[in-house]
Amino acid sequence: MRQFVCPACAAVNRAAEGKDAAAAKCGRCGERIFTGKPVEVTGAQFEAHRRSTHGAALLLDVWAPWCGPCRAMAPQFAAAAQRLEPEVRLLKLNSDQDQNTAAALGVSGIPALFLIAGGRVVARHAGLMSAEQIIAWTRQHLAAAGA
């Protein structure tokens, strides 16, 4: 069994392996666990996902609303979410709203991607990528990490 945080109410839920995982609903609020869209998170919510997600990876996009490349990558990141869920949960963190988390991650340029497996960062990338590049980069690094 894998474990995920509900994007609607933050309850921790278990989801079955395989094709049924994509249809999983939250045991508390009844909302879908996987929406095929990135989940906007605060630093505290990111930590909850990091701590409570088991059996899947997290892909965090650290961005800012004033950043042109961040705005250009947003639809690419959303398209990647449709193809990577439920194997990978995609999260977005606004660095302007949570500078402490961005600093703790060592963000030096945005957009910045952090691939997390088993609660630890296994790969990072700064700069604009297309949906195909995000997907390939994620799968390559997950395979290299044995996740």
Q: What percentage of the chain has pLDDT greater than the value 70?
A: 97
Confidence of residue 145 (pLDDT cuts 50, 70, 90): confident
Specify if 127 maps to a domain: yes
Domain count within the chain: 1
Specify if 23 maps to a domain: no
Specify if 51 maps to a domain: yes
Q: Are strands 112-117 and 120-126 parallel, antiparallel or unpaired?
A: antiparallel
Give the Cα separation of 127 and 28 in Å (integer): 37
Residue 109 structure tokens: 């340029």
Q: Are strands 112-117 and 57-63 parallel, antiparallel or unpaired?
A: antiparallel
Report yes or no: 63 and 111 within 8 Å, Cβ to Cβ.
yes
Instruction: Determine the structural domain holding residue 121 and report its residue range.
Output: 34-145
Tell me, what CATH number does 122's domain have? 3.40.30.10
Specify if 126 maps to a domain: yes
Catalytic site includes residue 67: yes
Coil/strand/helix, residue 87: coil
Looking at the predicted structure, is the pLDDT value of residue 7 above 80? yes
Catalytic site includes residue 70: yes
| pLDDT tens-digit series, residues 56-82 | 899 999 999 999 999 999 999 999 999
Give the Cα separation of 13 and 36 in Å (integer): 17
Specify if 46 maps to a domain: yes
In the set 9, 26, 29, 67, the catalytic residue is 67
